[in-house]
Amino acid sequence: MEFVRLGSSLASLLLICAGPASPAVSGASASGVQAAYDAQCADIVRGDFEDFARTLSPSFTAHVEGQTYSRDDVVTSLERASTSVTLTRCTTTVDSVTQSNGVFIALVRQLVDGTHGNQPFELASGKRDMWSAGSDALIETSSTALWSTTSVNGQIVQQSGLVPSPPPLPQASPTPPGGRR
């Protein structure tokens, strides 16, 4: 299936870090990391891959399913994918940020959705990223994909890594509201 192949490539690119972590970083630093992700997402949805590339260090590496990709690999693949994929949303939730020797280490969940042809898709992922202070902004230095789930038309078509379980559904009450059966 063409979409699964493209979805796999897109997942590899968007799941774009490893290192020892120390104590959690202050709220100001965590908000700076969140702002950096927000800028990346805006660049990707707009298709502004030149600005997106500026958020990655020249030596950036992405580690996805045993493969390593350079900054140029990632940007080139996003540019190619953009000819047949329309992204409509990209959101990143920063679950934690720690700092070690001037490097920020972020554990995040990302949700990207859009269309491929007329088929809606959604990519949910978790990753561990490393950021360093650049001259005027944070610069992402590496990223390691931890898990991902790709859905097309609401159906899961691909999963990788240890995908977290969804929260449990609320249990139905044995007694209907109002206390009567």
For the chain, what is the domain count? 1
Residue 108: count other Cβ atoms within 10 Å of its Cβ. 21
Q: Residue 3 — pLDDT band, cuts 50, 70, 90?
A: very low
173 lies in some domain: no
- Find the CATH number of the domain harbouring 90: 3.10.450.50
25 lies in some domain: yes
How confident is the model over 31-58, as a mean pLDDT?
Answer: 94
178 lies in some domain: no
What pLDDT does residue 89 have? 96
pLDDT in tens, 67-113: 999 999 999 999 999 999 999 999 999 999 998 888 999 999 999 99
How confident is the model over 14-31, as a mean pLDDT?
Answer: 46
What residues make up the domain containing 92? 2-161
